[in-house]
Amino acid sequence: MIQFLVLGIAAMLCLAGGVIFFVVLYQRRIIHHQLEIKRINEQKQQELLKASLESEERERNRIAAELHDDVGATLSSVRLYLSTAERLPQNRDALGHSKQLLDESIQKVRDISHKLQPSTLETFGLDIALASLANVIDRAGVIRMSYQAIPPLPVMNTVKQLTLYRIVQELINNIIKHSAADYVSLKAWGEGNQWMLGLEHDGTGITQNEFLIYVDGPGSGGMKNIANRLNSINGSICFEQTSEGKFTIFIKANLENL
Amino acid sequence: MLLLYCSILSPLIPVIIGYKNAGKLLWWYPFLGFLVDASVFVLKRTVGLNTFQLDIFYNSFLIIEFVLITTLYNQVVLQNNRWVKMLIGATVGLFLVYCFWTYCAFSFLIFSAFLSAYLLLTLYSFYIIIHEQKNLFLEKYWFFWFNVAVLLYASANIIFFLFIYFYNDVYKGQVNYVWERLFLASNIIKNLLLVPAVYLYGKVLKNIPPE
């Protein structure tokens, strides 16, 4: 009888152990399933982000091409006709003024087209494109801008170069719009396998904490754009204030795994 | 004897390790278990206890254990149901009537009935744990460890106590032999499993899967 008792107790314990084992195993499966879902979601988000950025670039290319080919060409034709009409002495003053305005418009169209799709980037690389951008902004007269590259600069693929270019463009636009700065300087240098960019201005800037609040909070599409572009190239950004009261922005782009 | 000493002292482990939760409901369970076992052991060897006095100790712990365990289950899986509270109260009332009627005789049948209630509660709790998925990481969830402790304790002893109730007079010597090994061992295992339960009691878990 005692043997049956012992057998009965053993069976109960085995059943209990089986229940516990089943629960633990089932829970591990749930965790594995959740991790898989999380991985797929992150992958999907990355793909959506990439598609969104590609779509944005295609649209910019299209607008830049239309501005340059259509509007720019038309304005140049108008200039040609005005040059012909200027040969008559009675038209000289009015036409001279019109030509001047037209020259300004043609230059502005070229600048807009260049900002939308920097042709120098594909042909000459990021270094020259940034120098050209600084030149355009400085020439516009709203803010003084300088650019300095410290060679050697690491080699980078076109996609990454374009992404960094867009980030710098967005940051400069924000500085012009919001900081009331008189001067901004841009520096580029390489550290091992990393591209480093440093922006410094004498206006009112933001700190790293404020940047993170903008990125996580509602609105602030520009900041979110910067953060998304950085994520797509495995980069990082740091907003700081120097002891002299100037604001600096450091961008780091890791060239591995791309 | 070694097993007896270990069984008496084993509740101290969750009591000491879970000292941050001292005074909370779950902490009282091992604490009272130690108090009763130690008191019985000391009093038996010093002043000597008769059957009636022993039964008072065991019945007191039996009903307190029942109230503690069912209250914990009511809080976690039964959403503090007032009908369950009334049922617990009614059971305590009936038990007191029984004690009064039988001069507090210890009943293995009543203990087995309580153990079967614990078994049902543990199985239902595991179902709720799997179904609701409120806590992804079971090893960090105090209630999982508490449930395992009660399930193993109840499943190890329910048949044994029923056997004692029906066959104790016939197999007294062998019953004592099994008692000294099974019940004491299951008590030790239960208290060891209560260590993570008491330690983790009250901690809020973040259900973020690991990277």
Greatest Cα-to-Cα distance within chain A, rounded to the nearest angstrom: 131
Task: Report the C-alpha gap between A194 and A60 in whole angstroms.
Answer: 28
* pLDDT tens, residue by residue, A103-119: 888 887 777 777 777 77
What's the whole-number mean pLDDT along residues A184-212? 89
Angle at which helix B108-132 crosses helix B142-167, to 10 degrees, equals 150
CB contact under 8 A, B148 and A8: no
Q: Are A163 and A205 in contact (CB under 8 A)?
A: no
pLDDT of amino acid A258: 42
Bridge-based pairing state of the strands A183-191 and A144-150: parallel
Token pair 């008792």 is found at A5
Instruction: Work out the number of other CB atoms within 10 angstroms of the CB of residue B89.
Output: 11
Structure tokens at A88: 């008559």
User: How buried is A16 (Cβ within 10 angstroms: 0-12 exposed, 13-18 middle, 19+ buried)?
Assistant: buried
**E strand segments, B33-129:** none
pTM summary value: 0.61
Least-confidence region, from A166-175, A176-185, B171-180, B181-190: B171-180
What is the rounded distance in angstroms from the CA atom of residue B190 to the CA atom of residue B11? 9
Which chain B residues are Cβ-neighbours of A19 within 8 angstroms? 123, 126, 151
Of A128-137, A172-181, B174-183, B199-208, the least confident = B199-208
Model confidence pLDDT, tens digit, residues A201-256: 988 888 888 888 888 877 777 788 888 888 888 888 999 888 888 899 999 988 76
How far apart, in whole angstroms, are the C-alpha atoms of residue A182 and residue A247? Answer: 12
Phi, psi values for residue A156, rounded to 5°: -140, 150
Averaged pLDDT for residues A149-153 = 86
For residues B151 and A22, give the distance between their C-alpha atoms in angstroms, rounded to a whole number: 14
Cβ neighbours of A193 (radius 10 Å): 10
State both tokens at B78.
């039964």
With CA atoms as reference, report the closest residue to B193 among A17, A96, A237.
A17
DSSP for A54-82?
Answer: HHHHHHHHHHHHHIIIIIIHHHHHHHHHH
Chain B interface includes A8 (CB < 8 A)? yes
Task: Report cis status (omega within 30 of 0) of the bond before A89.
Answer: no
Any B CB within 8 A of A9 CB: yes
Show the tokens assigned to B6: 């270990």
**Residues A83-94: tens digit of each pLDDT:** 777 777 777 777
Per-residue confidence band for A35, with pLDDT thresholds at 50, 70 and 90: confident
Q: What is the mean pLDDT of chain A?
A: 83
Question: Apex CA A34: angle with CA A29 and CA A35, to 5°?
Answer: 100
Closest CA to B156 of A8, A226, A79, A169: A8
Q: Which residues of A touch B209 (CB under 8 A)?
A: 31, 34-35, 38
The partner residues of A252 in beta bridges, in order of sequence, read: A196, A236
* Single-letter amino acid code for the residue at B175: V
Interface of B with A in 122-141 (CB under 8 A): 123, 126, 129-130, 133, 136-138
**Residue B208 CA, distance from chain mean position:** 32
Both tokens of residue A252? 């780091």
Per-residue pLDDT of chain B (211 residues; tens, 9 = 90+): 788 888 889 999 998 988 887 778 888 899 999 998 899 888 888 888 777 888 888 888 889 999 999 998 988 888 878 888 888 888 888 888 888 888 788 888 888 899 999 999 999 999 888 887 777 778 888 899 999 999 999 988 888 888 888 776 666 677 777 777 788 888 899 999 999 998 888 776 555 444 4
Whether chain A has a CB inside 8 Å of the CB on B4: the answer is no
* Virtual torsion, Cα B174, B177, B183, B187, nearest 10 deg: 180
pLDDT: which is higher, B22 or A128: A128
Residue A26 has its nearest CB partner, among B130, B160, B167, at: B130
